[in-house]
Amino acid sequence: MRWPDIFYDERSPLHTPHGDGRPKNRRATTFASKNACTANDSNNSPLSAASLSPKELDDKGNVHGLNIAITIVALAVLLLGLVSTVLNDMASPPKYDYSQLTFNWHNDPASYLEPVMAPNFTYNVVLEAHAHTTHSDGDMTPEQLVEYYRANGFNAAIVSDHNTVAGGLAAERYAQRQYPGQFVVIPAQEYSCCRVHMNFINIRETIPVVQAFPTDSELKEAIDRVHALGGLVVVNHIPWSNSTTAGYPDTATLPNHPNREDLVAMGVDGFELVNGQVFDTRSYRFVQNHNAQHPEDPLLVVTGNDVHRPQSVYSWTVLQTRNGNQPLTAQAVFAELQAGRTDFLFEPSGTRQHAVPQRNSRYWLLAPLTNLGEYFKTYYDRQRGMYSFTGEFCQPQIFEVHTAAILSLAMYLVVAVVSVELVSLALFFGKSGYRRRARWRVQPHPSAS
């Protein structure tokens, strides 16, 4: 007689059959076998570590390790974003390298332009009245600036860096050394604050800006100081100063800019009528009316390309020196400026010739980090308005967090993490079930013995 297969459970500790194949205690064996089967089913559950094989334990550990790796990667990305944002704001090198510029052309504006105010005006000096170097926010050195202006048809330049005369003095030394009597530089300072920008021409010391928003009396003191040093004061780019700046639609770029009448009352000597491509028609009419009413004390007219980097040239201030065929001198040029005997050429489309800078290898080396910083900046806006060149800004800071973008990013991250978890669990259960079924298939049946 053969007992049912249930009593031949070799995994049961009570399996001690007699010689005829019967168990010692049928009821106890049956009960124990049922309990053993129940316990075995429980232990064989995929969620029970006691029943897992070493390979299954490894798989479960791999899933846990994957979760830790995801967390570490997320923290690393956040840290990298913080570092890249700081780099983007404070330590990002310029995209282009201007150190190897060459200007291998010569433009002659007299060949295709005539003076604007008096077409028959004769001149032997072509002057740039507003330019910047690396001593403030320009990309060209004083030496490069001189070469750039020579290529574009100038033989004189007023070099006026923001709140310093250092760039003008350096350019003057270079011109005197390289082109004596052929190209002259008049040192200047662009007095820059949150109320007005003015060129202080033909001075050799920097006039300090006492605060970002100087009072009218403080502006007049600075103007008087320039006159005491033998210089001239020209008001720059009024249209730009009165225009709005990004993020501040109701505020001028330079708030509380003095009007033209007040500036004349403070003692300014003239106005910049063209800045870049912009022709200040209101200042042009104002100067015409003033000079018609006060011919004994005319206001000076100049133009400026406001050069910071190699670009098209749009205007040329012209004048006629009184020293005949003598070598060109800064004193002769300045004398005509003092007398207000100037005119200008203007071409709104600008010159065609350009110097192309090289790409800066340091910028591209850090580009992955700095560009990542640009990405993180999409989650907030930080606007400070126009820089005063005194360490402050001309508008109140605006900081706005884009909550919707941050919540969207969080949602995408949750979806990504849940997706990874689901895939990991599916792979784990799939592999565990496959191994268990394979083990059951190869386990020998008791009847086979």
User: Across the chain, what does the average pLDDT equal?
Assistant: 85
Q: For residue range 233-242, what is the model confidence (pLDDT) as tens digits? A: 999 999 999 9
Each domain of the chain, given as residue ranges in start order, spans 53-95+360-449, 98-359
Q: Hey, what are 372's tokens?
A: 């990542």
Q: What is the largest CA-CA distance in the chain?
A: 141
Dihedral sign of CA atoms 3, 4, 9, 13 in order: negative
- Percent of the chain residues past pLDDT 70, beyond the cut: 78
Tokens 């076998």, residue located = 33
CA within 13 Å, CB half, 262: 11
Phi/psi for 80 (5° steps) reads -65, -40
Per-residue pLDDT, 39: 46
**Is pTM, for the whole model, over 0.85?**
no
* pLDDT digit string, tens, across residues 253-278: 999 999 999 999 999 999 999 999 99
pLDDT: is 274 or 360 the higher one? 274
pLDDT for res 64 = 64
The more confident residue out of 56 and 238 is: 238
pLDDT of amino acid 26: 47
Identify the residue with better confidence: 337 or 38.
337
Q: Which residue has the higher pLDDT, 22 or 118?
A: 118
pLDDT of 34: 46
Q: Mean pLDDT, to the nearest integer, of 154-160? A: 98
* Digit-coded pLDDT (tens) for 298-315: 999 999 999 999 999 999
Q: How confident is the model at residue 122 (pLDDT cuts 50, 70, 90)?
A: very high
CATH topology of domain 98-359: TIM Barrel (3.20.20)
From residue 414, give the alpha-carbon distance in Å to each of 81, 327, 377, 378, 409.
19, 76, 21, 20, 9
Query: What is the pLDDT averaged over residues 418-426?
Result: 82
- Helices vs strands, H then E, count in the chain: 11, 16
* CA–CA separation, 126 and 140 (whole Å): 20
pLDDT band at 163 (very low <50, low <70, confident <90, very high): very high
Residue 385's pLDDT is what?
Answer: 94
Distance CA 37, CA 75 (A): 47
